[in-house]
Amino acid sequence: MKETGSEDKYLEWLDRGLSKVPKTESRDRLNVPSVECISEKNKTIVQNLNQIAGLLNRDVKHLLKYMTLRLAAPYSEIGEGSYVFKGRILPKQLDTVIADYIKAYVECPVCKRPDTKLSREKRGIVQLVCLSCGAVSPVKSL
Ligand SMILES: [Zn+2]
């Protein structure tokens, strides 16, 4: 009899190793979609902010506040999860603002993971609490 068992075992081991790789991506990093927007002459309608805020596990109002400050453009809600910002804002600008928001208010500055939450604002102090490594980092209050 020829020895083929070892190869079978190897393949079995390989299989097992592969099946250990999680199917759903772990939250080592976020897959945030691009901002969907319609830029008009003097207004910009943004359609998927609720979805983005949901992915980031943040209140959309907090995200909107940040965007308003960064873009220096007031917004209003127009229903069905759409928001309109004053002025013509390019999609690229919006994506940059979202990326900056993630860096400032979502990503843990210690381990860089996005599984974090913001503590309640107390006397203007907000803390970013990391659920992965436990680090507590102060962030700017909005
Ligand atoms: Zn962390």
**What pLDDT shows up at residue 4?**
58
What is the edge-to-edge ordering of all strands in the sheet holding 43-46? Answer: 37-39, 43-46, 82-86, 75-79
**What pLDDT shows up at residue 76?**
96
For ligand 1, the distance from its centroid to the CA atom of residue 109, given in whole angstroms, is: 7
* 10-residue averages of pLDDT along the chain (142 residues): 65 63 58 93 96 95 97 95 96 96 97 92 84 94 86
- DSSP-derived letter for residue 52 is H
**What pLDDT shows up at residue 15?**
67
For ligand 1, the distance from its centroid to the CA atom of residue 114, given in whole angstroms, is: 8
Boundaries of every domain in the chain = 33-106, 111-142
**What pLDDT shows up at residue 23?**
46
For ligand 1, the distance from its centroid to the CA atom of residue 138, given in whole angstroms, is: 13
CATH number of 33-106: 3.30.70.3150
pTM: 0.78
Is residue 116 classed exposed, middle or buried when 0-12, 13-18 and 19+ CB atoms within 10 A define those classes? buried
**What pLDDT shows up at residue 123?**
77
Residues in the chain: 142
